[in-house]
Copies of this chain bind each other. A is one copy, B any other.
Amino acid sequence: MTNTGSGHFFEDFNVGQVLRHSTPRTLTAGDASLYMGLFGSRFAVQSSEIFARAIGYPRAPIDDLLVFHLIFGKTVPDVSLNAIANLGYANCRFLAPVFAGDTLTATSEVIGLKENSSHKTGIVYVRSHGFNQDNVEVLDYVRWVMVRKRDEAAAAPQEHVPELPAAVDGGALGSACPRIGVSAYDFELAGSARRFGDYAIGEKIDHVDGVTVEEAEAQIATRLYQNTARIHFNQYAAAQERFGRRLIYGGHVISLARGLSFNGLANAFHIAGINGGRHVAPLFAGATVFAWTEVLTKGALQGRDDVGAMRLRTIATEDKPCQDFPWKAGDDYDPAVRLELDYWVLIPR
């Protein structure tokens, strides 16, 4: 699509429309380093070429979430430049590993539209796809956003709300993770002896540490993804809106929580899919993010005995340590909760 900087409004979308996003991007070791400096990831597979090769990767893969954020960023100019809120993610699958040197592009298909009763906004559902330079699909996911109408009087597109699975089929996941040699996986070097079999369904894990968000960090990260959503960068405009401040990109909180989750999940080295994500409340610079995780289910991968899949729910909070596992109080979220993320990780058996 042509990027004039003004983006699309709700009435510009129609179901079945395919958006080919601009800005192809070659990922390098430099991106991996900067991502490390911003989130401090410690998972051994992404941190060490030697470790990754020992277990069967051709090279150390790029962090899954860096790939996610990059593909997400490409969709922003066409999908969510005029979004009021990023409502959710679903059915996200990591399909092939990404390595330094790979060049990523993205497309999205509009799979649903629903005007809001105010006639001022509507919800746009897209399925986005990321590809590498060999046109191998590396990622796909659904997200839905509330987008402004340019003109309240404009006719609304035909309403269509897609059916979305509550969760990705865990057993079908894993194509982004080669079969690993578990005997070569050095658990001590990876930071924990805990394997698939050592986690119980229902187990709750406090990730202990907290990390305070700085405006400069969030801006650098969000630009690294070439995400141009205005609310993350423009304090002049933000000062005149509801919150008065730049909003931290929701994906920033996801990466912070993933980084913290190493404390207790050190061997859960690969995110294979994301079942659903919800930004319960916005986050602003100065907040200290904490996180905890519950093991929801565990499952086998089809035809594989090297790794198992664990379905996790990670909750990230603001300014509230998680030793008491804050989540919901009745139907409402604990007021400290900022993120709820439901996803599948792979972990050696």
Contacts and interface: CB of A to CB of B under 8 A. Distances in A.
Contacts of A319: 236
B42 A226 contact: yes
Given A103-B48, A212-B236, A319-B236, A32 B28 contact: yes
A262 B103 CA distance: 20
Contacts of A207: 5
A20 interface: yes
Tell which of A40, A190, A207, A266 has the most Cβ of chain B within 10 Å: A40
Contact of A22 (B50, B60, B236, B266): B266
A188 B34 contact: no
A306 interface: no
Contacts of A4: 192, 263-264
A234 B212 contact: yes
A162 interface: no
Interface in A240-277: 246, 262-264, 266
Interface string A3-40: 11110000000000000101111101111111011111
Contacts of A193: 2
Interface string A75-102: 0010000000000000000000000010
A329 interface: no
Contact of A191 (B37, B44, B77, B188): B77
A251 B68 CA distance: 32
Given A25-B48, A49-B26, A263-B4, A38 B212 contact: no
A215 interface: yes
A189 B103 CA distance: 13
A6 B288 contact: no
Contacts of A208: 5-6
Nearest to A212: B235
A31 B33 CA distance: 5
B26 A48 contact: yes
A1 B226 contact: no
Interface string A171-213: 0000000000000000011111110000000000001111110
A203 B237 CA distance: 26
A220 interface: yes
A335 interface: no
Contacts of A34: 30, 33-34, 37
Interface string A32-62: 1110111110101001111100000000100
Contact of A37 (B101, B194, B221): B221
Nearest to A42: B23
A235 B39 contact: no
14 contacts: A3-B263, A3-B266, A5-B208, A6-B208, A26-B50, A33-B224, A37-B224, A50-B103, A51-B103, A210-B233, A212-B215, A216-B216, A217-B219, A236-B290
Closest 3 CB pairs of A and B: A30-B33, A5-B263, A22-B191
